[in-house]
Each structure stands twice: as C-alpha cells, then as structure tokens.
Amino acid sequence: MYKSLFIGLSLVMMVCLVSCKTGNEKHSQEKETIKTDVTPVDTLHYDQETHLRNVTQLTYGGDNAEAYWSFDDRHLVFQSNYKQWGLECDQIFFMEAKAGAGKEKPVMISTGQGRTTCAFFMPGDSTILYASTHQGGEACPVEPDRHGGKYLWPIYDTYDIFVADLKGNILKQLTNSPGYDAEPTLSPHGDKIVFTSTRSGDLELWTMNIDGSDKKQVTTGLGYDGGAFFSPDGNKLVFRASRPLTDADQQEYKTLLADGLVAPTQMEIYVCNVDGTDVKQVTNLGKANWAPYFHPNGKQIVFSSNHHGARGFQFNLFSIQVDGTGLRQLTYDPVFDSFPMFSRDGKKLVFSSNRNNKGTRDTNIFIAEWID
C-alpha cells in the first residue's frame, strides 16, 4: 500500500517535478515550495463533502495512513513514521477509533525494526496481519536510486507477511519465499488472505489461507497488481494495476522490476473474481488511481485519484460504480485524501488526509459518518 511513498508522489507533482523524493524525506527546500503553492489548510470538513458528516481527527503529526477497522468497528490498525515516536520509517500501531486516540503514542504492533506496510485485523480482533522487512535487517531499508529523477517505488525483496498479537509478539510467519511478499488483506469471511508477490516473476495478486497454506496466483497480466481488497460478500477483489502496453513501456517496466523498482504514476482500478477470472477494468481516467475499497453495498468502489488536477498533485477520494459509470468526487482537500475504508457496519469512513495540518506536511487519520 505504500502509504508514505504515495504521499510523496502528491508532493513531488506539486513542485512540478523539480525534485524527486519519497514521503520519508524532509527537505526544507521542498517544504518552502509547498508553502508557496498551497495555502495552509486548517479545516476538518469542506462544504462540498456532502457524503461526510462529523469529521473527527485521530492523529496529530507525521505520516499516518492505511488505517483499517477491526471486525467490531471499535479499533484501527495503521502505520506511521512519526519521528516524535522515535521512528525512522513506517511501523504498525493499534488504537481505539475515537477522537485524539493518536495524540499519544499508541501500542506498536511491529518490531520497530526494518520497514512495515499494510496491516489488517485477523478474525477475533486479537491478532494483526502485516508485512515487514525486519528479517532483512534492523535498519530501515535503503531508498533506491531514482533512475534519472523518476518517481519510483522500491519493491524490497525482504518483505514477508507475519501475524502478531496486540502486544507485538509475532505468532506466525505466513510467507518465506525469496522476493517481495506484502500488501496483505483479509476476506470478510476470515478465511482467505490476498497479497502481492513477485514469486512468479512479476508483481501479481495471490491468495492463501489464513495459516499461510494453499497459495494460489490470481492475476497474470504484465504490470503491477496490488493494494487488493475483498468485496463484502468475499467473492471478488478490487485492486490497482499498471498495464504497460507499448514495447518501450514494457521493457522499462521489466528493467525497473529487475532493479526492485516500479513506477506508480499510471494506474487504474480493476476488479476480478477471487480465482482471477472475469477481470474487468473499472476506471480509465489516466494518471494515478489507487487505494480502492468496496462500498458495503458491493456495487460501488471508493478510491483515490489525481486525474482531475491540471498539475496532478491533488489526490482526492472518488466513488464509481463497479461497471465504471457514475463517477463522483467525495473529498476536496487541496493536497491529499486517500486510503478510504468503510466500517463493517457501513456507517463510518476512515481515511487519511493533509487537511487541518496548518501548512505542514503532516498526514493524519480521520473518521467521518458516511451519508449515502
């Protein structure tokens, strides 16, 4: 899911590709550019956001994102790189789903070593699924070269998927093959996990049982497939994908992947059956469309996109019908809204945003009542 890196993408585009960075780098020159281009925001809710009510802020500093609900809708698991919590790169945390829950450092679920991403509650809400590079070293993995200044994601081959209890004790390792295994999420039935892996030579979706058994490849098309979530009935997947079409684009994709990199600036939203059949492209908007999640009715998808901005740095939430019709904008922060997830009862939406950060680069977690 690459929270901090996509936050970085919005800022890179904001400075019109003058410099390239990731969301973990804090260059003062870029900060000044951001303050020049965007008026400092001090608001929780924009008038146009008619589908949101009673927006509540949970965290206050750093890059906090990929917050996902527990099965009982009372807690959230999320990742943060907040330096005041002693972090150098993303780690996994657990907190109550209430205002100000992240003002103080919550319980850290991950080891504090390496880099983590993509946590999700397991059945019973007493264990957490997440991906980590800690077996590859205690330090945060080194950021890759940018290949001539292009915005790229690192695909660390030390990522594996683990299950930990709420005190951070690792109970089980679910993957151990060479290469990238990350971005795991759980079926609403609690029986299947979907994740992204390079084990077949490309970045494809795979499924496995919750004990790590019966791993099956889902997607096969050349390009990056990731950030997948199950539909409410557990029968379908929604995910983001890049599909390089020209010979030059395909060769570039393969070259980058061989170097452990992927370019995420051109992605669309897709759906398919859990077994990989009936693959359908939902969006055809251009630029970066990502972080999709099914509406509880199973007929709509919410996602983040920068397709609507002339310069491409503004990411907002949109919804669209599964058949690709009915596109509508949901949020209006001038910089960044993403990582939406509906509560299990469908009454609330959690998301991450740059709103109310008083002109800083902080990205925080918010909850809003959902109005259909």
Terminal-residue alpha carbon distance, the chain: 26
pLDDT bucket at 37, cuts 50 / 70 / 90: very low
Q: How far apart are CA 115 and CA 354, in angstroms?
A: 22
pLDDT the model gives residue 310:
79
Provide the pLDDT for residue 143: 84
The sheet with strand 328-329 has its strands ordered as 289-294, 300-305, 316-321, 328-329
Instruction: Answer whether residue 229 shows pLDDT above 80.
Output: yes
pLDDT over 80 (residue 144): no
Q: Residue 110 is which amino acid?
A: S
pLDDT exceeds cutoff 80 at 13: no
238 membership: H or E segment, kind and range: strand 236-241
- What does pLDDT average to over the chain? 90
pLDDT at 92 over 90: yes
CB 149: neighbour CB atoms within 10 A?
A: 12
**Largest Cα span, the chain:** 52
Q: Give tens-digit pLDDT for 192-228.
A: 999 999 999 999 999 999 999 999 999 999 999 999 9
Residue with tokens 């295994």, as numbered in its chain: 181
Contacts of 36 (CB under 8 A, 6+ apart): none
Which residue's entry shows tokens 């009510």?
53
> What is the pLDDT at residue 39?
54
In whole angstroms, what is the distance from residue 279 CA to residue 223 CA? 14
Residue type, 229: F
Provide DSSP, 123-169.
TTSSEEEEEE-GGG-SSPPPPPP-TTT---EE--TT-EEEEEETTS-
| pLDDT computed for residue 25 by the predictor | 32
Residue 5 reports pLDDT greater than 60: no
**Domains of the chain: residue spans and CATH:** 3-370 (2.120.10.30)
**What does the pLDDT read at residue 42?**
76
pLDDT at 74: 97
| Window from 203-217, 272-286, 297-311 with minimum mean pLDDT | 297-311
- pLDDT tens profile 316-347: 999 999 999 999 999 999 999 999 999 999 99
Rounded to whole angstroms, the Cα distance separating 368 from 236 reads 26
Identify the band that residue 274 occupies on the pLDDT scale cut at 50, 70 and 90: very high
Residue 11's pLDDT band, with cuts at 50, 70 and 90, is very low
Alpha helices in the chain (DSSP H): 3-14, 28-37, 247-258
Share of the chain above pLDDT 90, in %: 84
Residues 164-201 have pLDDT tens digits of: 999 999 999 999 999 999 999 999 999 999 999 999 99
Q: Which pLDDT belongs to residue 27?
A: 28
Read off the pLDDT of each residue in 52-77 and give the average, rounded to a whole number.
97
pLDDT of amino acid 40: 55
